[in-house]
């Protein structure tokens, strides 16, 4: 199952979302930051108030959670909503031009 997570392009923004992962609903908390020097978004992911991953870059082209699949937080992709002029979400285009798609842990294997 796949879900669109409502990431917003607001630095230091914190929000929670129930994400369907591996047949259950998992409450995850997110904290967004923008790296001005490198020009990309980073997200911290929390489950049950425990930090699961810190500084995950939101870069398209692959399952951004593939290297931490053992953490049981599913899989995620950054995909353009339509044709975009940039390689990854900028400071102003994350919520307007890009989707964050979340799926099951083995979604990339199907």
- What per-residue confidence (pLDDT) applies to 72? 85
pTM for this entry: 0.87
With a CB cutoff of 8 Å and minimum separation 6, the contacts of 85 are none
Mean pLDDT across 5-17: 93
With a CB cutoff of 8 Å and minimum separation 6, the contacts of 101 are 2, 3, 4, 5, 76, 77, 78, 79
Percent of the chain predicted with pLDDT > 70: 96
- What per-residue confidence (pLDDT) applies to 107? 59
Tens-place pLDDT, residues 29-78: 999 999 999 999 999 999 988 999 999 999 998 999 998 888 889 999 99
Mean pLDDT across 81-89: 89
């Amino acid at each position: 199952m796949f879900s669109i997570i409502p990431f917003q392009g607001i630095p230091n923004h914190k929000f929670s979302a129930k994400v369907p992962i591996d047949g259950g609903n998992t409450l995850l908390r997110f904290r967004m930051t923008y790296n001005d020097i490198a020009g990309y978004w980073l997200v911290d992911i929390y489950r049950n108030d425990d930090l699961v991953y810190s500084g995950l870059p939101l870069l398209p082209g692959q399952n951004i959670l593939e290297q931490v699949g053992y953490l049981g937080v599913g899989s995620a992709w950054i995909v353009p909503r339509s044709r975009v002029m940039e390689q990854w979400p900028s400071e102003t285009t994350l919520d307007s031009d890009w989707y964050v798609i979340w799926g099951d842990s083995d979604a990339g294997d199907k």
